Amino acid sequence: MNKDNIITLPNTHLRERSKKVGIITDEIKKIIQDMELATLDWEASREHEVGVALAAVQVDIHLRIVVVRNNFDNKDDKTFTVLINPEITKYEGKIEYDYEGCLSVSDIYGRVPRYTKVRVRAQDKNGKTFRITAEGFLARVMQHEIDHTNGIVFIDHIKDDSTAFFKLKDDGKLEEIDYDKHVKNNSILW
């Protein structure tokens, strides 16, 4: 699997809820490995971005599986944490707005409200249940990816805010975009 397997809006499959994983088979473990490879391949094609995480729905597999990069700041660290059947058990902290992008939303970023701390329960690839208390950027990533398993894309949180959308420039910086021209009437996003 590679970056070409990652589906993008307006593909309606991104809006579908994923199913819970029952038994973790060799097939499930292969899906996980393929998701990691697709994330890394996408990252290799992007000069100013890191492949932080991916939900199985983003490769058109409707199972509640998420892979999250272990080290967001080091592109040389290509290891991931696997979350099977992840769910947020508690939202904590305050709501903050920060920038988010998505492998399934080409070249558009948004300023999205998220809780600063969440508690997550999931299973690892051996079926063992574990819990994570995530804060800061990791909390944002967990909320973003678990949203994917529920058929929600980050732009759904900001679709009515004309000041929340940005585009990545060639130099890696974000610039505001014309909401009416690039977002509001853009059937690609909805």
As annotated, the active-site residues are 145
* CB 52 within 8 Å of CB 40: no
Q: Tell me, letter by letter, the H, E, C secondary structure of 124-180.
A: CCCCCEEEEEEEHHHHHHHHHHHHHHCCCCHHHHCCCCCCCEEEECCCCCEEECCHH
Cα–Cα nearest to 87, from 19, 149, 153: 149
